[in-house]
Amino acid sequence: MSPGFLLIHAKPPRAAALTLSWLLFVGGITAYLWVAQARHRDNPEDRVTPTVAQMAKGMWSAAMQPAEEDEAVSVENATAWQQFSRSMLWKDTRATAKRFAWSIVLLIPAVLIGLHMGLFPFAGVFFLRFVLFFDKVVALSLLPILFIAFGIDEMAKIMLIVIGVAPTIILDSFNLTRGVPPEQVVKAFTLGAGDFTVAYRVVLKQILPRILNSIRLNLKSVMLFLFAGEMIASTDGLAYRIALLRRHMGMDIIIPYVLWVALLLFLVDLTMRLVNRKLHPWFHEA
Amino acid sequence: MLRCLALLLFAFSAFAQKPSFTVGWSVYAGWTPYHYMNKSGLLRKWADKYGITIQVKRFDYAPSLDAFVAKNIDACAMTNMEALDMPAASGVPTTAILIGDYSNGNDAILARGGVQLKDLAGKKMLLVQKTVSEYLFDRAMTINGMKDQIKKVRAINTSDSDIATAFLADSGASAVVTWKPMVSQIAKQKGIASLFDSSKIPGEILDLTVVRTDVLNRPDGAGRKFAMALAGAWYEMLGQMSNDKVLAAIAEGSQDTLASYKEQLVTTKMFYKPDEAAAFGASGDMKQKMALVRQFCFDHGLLGANTKSVDEVAIRYPDGSVQGKPDRVRLVFDIGYMQMAAQGKL
């Protein structure tokens, strides 16, 4: 290997690239296993760092058995799928996914507001100052007001996400809209386009892939706000379960749950990336 | 050079000769005295007497338990229920050395709109699940013969820092189970009535100071000194609690006012005298109450998914009797230090 193998011109061979890309995973898992083993040697009943077998068992029961607060159903002649569809994991995932989906849907108007702010001067002056300010408000600190306005049920959790994430999306859409060369807008007008054709078919069309990327980057904030909401007051959901299990150090289920959330979020991100590529084959950033 | 090294070693060993311990506490009427004990130098006085160093750290309640289970701190203030389902059930043998008080009305079930316990089925109720709040509710329903209705109540797990505002803001919630000072804050509003409180189950929600058993049994004996210093400082502190000035200073530890702290003490049965605490610890009464608590913990899965029987996390009492399997004793009630305090032998 040339001495410059770590420099800019380096071209890692396929095998090396594959190995290197998994190295940190292996390192992290090894470190965990080492700590877990040491702790279990010291105290066989340790619950802080469960072994892989304990986590597998915990996750298996989470995926196959109904939640403690639900009625146990007869498990005879139920298929694995039927069992899973009544399980704690499925119940929690469904509840969280529903809130997640609603908040993503409610973020669509945010994109439109940003677009209008960028194109229509009156919309711009009306919203910009307020949104800039509102963006800096820490939504979590407004909880008591949210409770009064939206109760403590689903609405409050979804609004917490929307209030937390929407300003960022609005400002990002606004900036992307402003980034479209004004010549294009003028050109579209000379070709006979109306105001809304310009907005939706010329500008929105070309900033959409970047907006999707911006939403992708904000998925984690969405999840953070969702988790905060579920931990504050809830009867189901992935974060509810984690909050509950924390009370008695149920790390054998908490760790798999956290990994499960990461996997789901990764899949949502991947789907959005693929959809983006499919919808906008001409777009070649990121 | 060699002499230099020897000197350094000597200095180091002299430093190491003074063992250091950490005690964690969180805000609660019965534990806030730790703040004053530390600030007033009372604890240092006792630590010096036994030649050790004691550090006091304030936590939120849940993190204090985590820190104790992770062995980051040596002693911690917690309830009997958490002592059983957190450290003891996680294989961290724990010894209760001080029985500080029991909740005598600090925890309560409050409802709005004239709702009674029997009306709660199908209604929304806010509480921090899997804590003494749920235990209190469970006991209330059991005592009133409505055990079968417990599961029919729509329990909403609500974080304790938001529970008061959440209940007051959401008129759709019929009841709330929580503890003071939130109880006082909620009860002040119009149309709210108390349905049940911990004064009806006296001695079941105990507030303890616990030490890790392996710390207590350190071969150099410093663990015992630590426990003796804590007990000595604790009862000297409690002896001063008739003084308003001291009470105000204690209240300060939780950003509370004197009036509010006094109101909380009314519903806290403090064992001001070590002999009272020791007598309670030695009584058969406490055993019966712990039996209820441990059964609750087991029924709610708080002893861990791998715990197949309630007897796997056993408790040993001062008279040597054991609840559960004798080879699996994880929680010990040791009244020796309270007795020493009572006899003035500390």
| pLDDT at residue B16 tops 60 | no
First to last CA, chain A: 30
> Tell me, what's the pLDDT at B254?
84
Q: Which of B154, B165, B304 sits opposite A235 (nearest CB)?
A: B154
Question: Which of B66, B79, B157 should we substitute to test contact with A (largest number of A Cβ atoms within 10 Å)?
Answer: B157
- Tens-digit pLDDT profile for residues A244-272: 998 888 899 999 999 999 999 999 999 99
> Tell me, what's the pLDDT at B31?
94
| pLDDT at residue B7 tops 60 | no
User: What integer best gives the mean pLDDT of chain B?
Assistant: 92
Cβ atoms within 10 Å of B202's Cβ, excluding its own: 14
Q: Which of A43, A233, A246 sits opposite B162 (nearest CB)?
A: A233
> What domains can you pick out in chain B, each with its CATH number?
19-103+204-342 (3.40.190.10), 107-200 (3.40.190.10)
A193 burial type by CB count under 10 A (0-12 exposed, 13-18 middle, 19+ buried): middle
Contact A173, A207 (CB under 8 A): yes
Contact A145, A135 (CB under 8 A): no
CA A7 from centre of chain:
34
Closest CA to B90 of B295, B326, B292, B306: B306
Sort strands B107-112 and B173-179 into parallel, antiparallel or unpaired.
antiparallel
- Diameter of chain A measured on Cα atoms: 78
Contact B47, B225 (CB under 8 A): no
Q: Which two tokens stand for residue B305?
A: 């998914």
Query: Which element (helix H / strand E) includes B194?
Result: strand B192-197
Please tell me the distance in Å from A100's CA to the nearest CA on chain B: 20
Q: Sketch the domain layout of chain A as residue ranges.
A: 14-49, 84-279
Q: Distance between CA A106 and CA A160 in Å, rounded?
A: 12
| pLDDT at residue B342 tops 90 | yes
| pLDDT at residue B68 tops 90 | yes
The arithmetic mean of pLDDT across residues B88-96, rounded, is 94
> Tell me, what's the pLDDT at B211?
97
Q: Which fold has domain A84-279?
A: MetI-like fold (1.10.3720)
A89 burial type by CB count under 10 A (0-12 exposed, 13-18 middle, 19+ buried): buried
Contact A152 B92 (CB under 8 A): no
User: Does the CB of A63 have a partner CB in chain B at under 8 Å?
Assistant: no
